[in-house]
Structure 1
Amino acid sequence: MRLILLLLCLLAFAFRSRLDSSGLDGPDKPAYRLYDPKLKATTYTKLLHQAADADVVLFGELHNNPICHWLELQLAKDLQTQKKGNLVLGAEMFETDNQTALTDYVEGRTTGKELSTQARLWPNFDTDYKPIADFAREQKIPFVATNVPRRYASLVARKGLTALDTLSAETKRQIAPLPLTVDLTLPGYKAMLDMMGGDSGHGGNTSSGNPHAGSSDAAANFARAQAIKDATMAYFILQNLKAGQTMLHFNGDYHSKNFEGIVWYLRKQRPDLKIVTLSSVELANPDKPEAENKSLADFVLAIPADMTKTY
Structure 2
Amino acid sequence: MRFFSWFLLLAPVALMSACAPTLIVPIGDPQRPYEPSRPPQVGDVLHNPTGFFVDEQAMLAAAADARIVYVGETHDNPAAHRVQLRVIEAVAERHPGRVAIGMEMFVPAQQEALDRWVAGELSEREFLRESRWNEVWRMDFAYYRDILLLARDRGIPVIGLNAERDLVRQVSRQGLDELPADVAAALPEMDLDDPYQRALTTAIFAGHDAGRGDLESFVRVQTLWDETMAENIARYLGDPANAEQRMVVLAGGNHVRYGFGIPRRVYRRLPASYLIIGSKEIEVPDDKQDRLMDVELPQFPMRPYDFTVFTAYEDLPAPPVRLGVLLESAPTGVGVAGVMPDSPAAHAGIEKGDVLLEMDGTELRESFDVIYLVRQKQPGDTAQLRIVRDGTEMDIQVHFPVPDENEQPMTKDK
Taking structure 1 as the reference length, what is the TM-score of the superposition? 0.73
Is the aligned partner of 1:297 residue 2:305? yes
What do the CA deviations read for 1:144-172 (whole angstroms, capped 9, x no partner)? 00111123223212213345544369x82
Give the equivalent residue in structure 1 for 2:267.
Answer: 267
**Is 1:67 paired with 2:79?**
yes
Evaluate the alpha carbon distance shift between residue 192 and residue 102 of structure 1 in structure 2; reply closer, same or farther with a 3 A threshold: same
Q: Which amino acid aligns with 2:46?
A: Y
The structure whose RCO (Cα within 8 Å, separation 6+) is larger is 1
Taking a change above 3 Å as real, the CA distance of residues 165 and 247 of structure 1, as seen in their structure-2 partners, is: farther
Amino acid at match of 1:301: V
CA distance in 2, matches of 1:106, 1:182: 36
In the aligned structure 1, how far is the partner of 2:155 from the partner of 2:43?
30
1:33-77 CA-partner distances (Å, limit 9, x unpaired): 211124421221122111111111010011111111112112222
1:301 Cα deviation after fit:
1.7
Which moved further from structure 2: 53-62 or 109-118? 109-118
Are the counterparts in 2 of residues 184 and 220 from structure 1 also a CA contact under 8 Å? no
Q: Is the 8 A contact 2:42 2:283 kept in 1?
A: no
Q: 1:182 aligns with which of 157, 173, 192?
A: 192
Counterpart CA distance in 2 for 1:195 and 1:83 is 37
- Higher helix proportion, which one? 1
Match of 1:208 in 2: none
Partner SS state of residue 148, structure 2: helix
Aligned to 2:116: 104
Q: Alpha-carbon deviation of 1:120?
A: 3.3
Q: Quick one: distance in 2 between partners of 1:267 and 1:93?
A: 21
TM-fit CA distance, 1:78: 2.3
Instruction: Quote the residue 1:144 is aligned against.
Output: 159
1:124 deviates by 3.3
Residue type of the alignment partner of 1:283: I
The 5 Å alignment of 1:102-141 reads 102-121=114-133, 122-141=137-156
Q: How many residues align?
A: 252
Select the residue among 221, 227, 241 that pairs with 1:225: 221
Q: Does 1:159 align with 2:174?
A: yes
Distance 1:47 1:226, change over 3 A: same
Q: Which runs of 5+ in 1 are unaligned?
A: 1-28, 198-214, 286-291
SS of residue matched to 1:279: strand
Identity of aligned residues (%): 25
How large is the RMSD of aligned CA atoms in angstroms? Answer: 2.8
Gaps of 5+ in 2: 1-39, 285-298, 317-412
Q: 1-side partners of 2:283 and 2:144: how far apart?
A: 26
SS for the counterpart of 1:94 is: coil
Provide the rounded CA distance (Å) in 2 between the counterparts of 1:194 and 1:31. Answer: 27
User: 1:71 & 1:137 partners in 2: Cα distance?
Assistant: 18
SS across alignment from 1:193: helix
Amino acid at match of 1:126: F
The one-letter amino acid paired with 2:264 is W
- Given that 1:87 and 1:141 are in contact with CA atoms closer than 8 Å, whether structure 2 keeps it comes out as yes
- Cα separation, partners in 2 of 1:164 and 1:88, compared to 1, 3 Å: farther
- Kindly name which structure, 1 or 2, has the bigger radius of gyration based on alpha carbons: 2
Structure 1 pair 32/167, CA: closer, same or farther in 2 (3 Å)? farther
Question: Paired residue for 2:45?
Answer: 34
SS in 2 for 1:148: coil
Q: Is the 8 A contact 2:201 2:222 kept in 1?
A: no
Indicate if the aligned counterparts of 2:61 and 2:90 stay in contact, CA closer than 8 A.
Answer: no
CA distance in 1, matches of 2:147, 2:155: 12
Tell me what 2:202 maps to: 193
Taking structure 2 as the reference length, the TM-score comes to 0.56
- 1:296 is paired with a residue whose SS is coil
